[in-house]
Amino acid sequence: MTTLDLPLVAPAVPTVRKFWRPATIIVAAASTIILVAVAQHVIDSGYLRRDAQALQEGDAWRTGGWLSQVVLRVVSLLPQVWMQQMALSLTGALVCGLAFGVLYDRLRSNGWFALGAIALLIALALHAGSLYTLSASSRAIPLYLAFAVLIPAIRSLEDVGDVQSAIGLGLLLPMLLLASPITTPLIIPIAIGAALAEPDGRRDPRAFAAMLLVAILPTLIVAVGIFGFLVQAHIDVADALFAYVAAYSDIHLGDVLGSVATLAVYAPVLLVPLVYCVWPNLPEKRHMFSALAIIAMPLYLAVARVTLNTAMTPIVPPMALLAAFMSWLAFVRLPVALRIFALAMLVLAVAASWTQTGLWYDAEWRGALLYGLPESLGNLGLRPGV
């Protein structure tokens, strides 16, 4: 035997996979084109986007959603309303189209058949919440993105558990700070969870403190950065913090049960991660925390929306759940039965979104969306109320 024959554990040469496969590019491009067409169709039908409307009325600011505010600030530089509408629609369609491409790519990597993956994407695109987010108000997209990126980060911490996972989660937590004042408190339990994910963190208080610091530091840095930029832009810090103060100044017990029930009705896909947690013989090691986070984070949103002082629309928690769920599907390896179950639940969610329209009911938008379609299709079960 020569040393060449000796077993060497790693460096395992991973199978080199193209970052962008042709099918992925086609799906991303097709999705973008279709979504742009839909968004344009709504505008052409005379609908004024809600976010563009807010821009016109001057109340698009001080929501505390820093990312959407940056986008809106840039868009506000455009002189004409139609330009602003176009820019917002294009931004939303591009983000969603790209996300669809990535999702398709990841689904295929995780064993989904092409047909199943495309069916899933079509179902997602047909969800009323998706279309509303795309063509009526895209201000919640940063929040959806935050949820979507946190799920794989939590899963990576569970699965790989290396320093990169810890850094990755730490670097993504500020997304919750940037998304909305309501999502900011979520940073603390997730950071604590990250610190406890490391076995040393459960045994040694010093290790726990160190891991907690590592998880929380990027958020603090981003907060300091925001402060710096506010000062540079001569914006009153107190004014900027108003959205945070306002959100937590009037805590009241709203219709929590109703809000949670709505979440379940509009996004029944939440059953899939629950079933995943107990499903026997999974084709992968079970990662429960990330699966449960898909439900826990939107659940918090659903409760927070009715207990805190916020302008968050009711459609946001179910859509956040959908975003987290889709992101999870992109990384989890499910057995065929669970894949079919996931698809069925999504179809059910689509049906619920069009038949129980109370969360998003916007007659003008519906009219604009269905403008030019056969009238019989336009009247199909579209009625408000859950």
By CB under 8 A, name the binding residues for other proteins: 1-4, 6-11, 14, 160, 162-164, 166-168, 170, 200, 204, 206-207, 209-211, 213-214, 217-218, 221-222, 224-225, 228-229, 232
Question: Quick one: 213 or 261, whose CB is closer to other proteins?
Answer: 213
- What is the C-alpha separation between 95 and 59, in angstroms, rounded? 24
What DSSP string runs through 202-221?
A: HH-HHHHHHHHHHHHHHHHH
Q: How far is the CB of 225 from other proteins (least distance, A)?
A: 4
Question: Quick one: 176 or 323, whose CB is closer to other proteins?
Answer: 176
Q: How far is the CB of 243 from other proteins (least distance, A)?
A: 22
- What is the C-alpha separation between 95 and 220, in angstroms, rounded? 27
| Dihedral of the alpha carbons of 288, 293, 294, 296, in degrees to the nearest 10 | 130
Question: Quick one: 2 or 80, whose CB is closer to other proteins?
Answer: 2
Question: Quick one: 232 or 281, whose CB is closer to other proteins?
Answer: 232
Please return the burial class of 354, using the count of CB atoms within 10 Å of its CB with bins 0-12, 13-18 and 19+. middle
Place of tokens 């005379």: 46
Q: How far is the CB of 91 from other proteins (least distance, A)?
A: 20
68-77 long-range contacts, CB within 8 A, separation 24+: 68/138, 68/139, 68/140, 68/141, 68/142, 72/139
Q: How far is the CB of 181 from other proteins (least distance, A)?
A: 21
Question: Quick one: 162 or 284, whose CB is closer to other proteins?
Answer: 162
Q: How far is the CB of 9 from other proteins (least distance, A)?
A: 4
Q: Which residues contact 93 (CB under 8 A, 6 or more apart)?
A: 32, 35, 36, 38, 39, 134
Question: Quick one: 20 or 229, whose CB is closer to other proteins?
Answer: 229
Q: How far is the CB of 41 from other proteins (least distance, A)?
A: 36
- What is residue 134's three-state secondary structure? helix
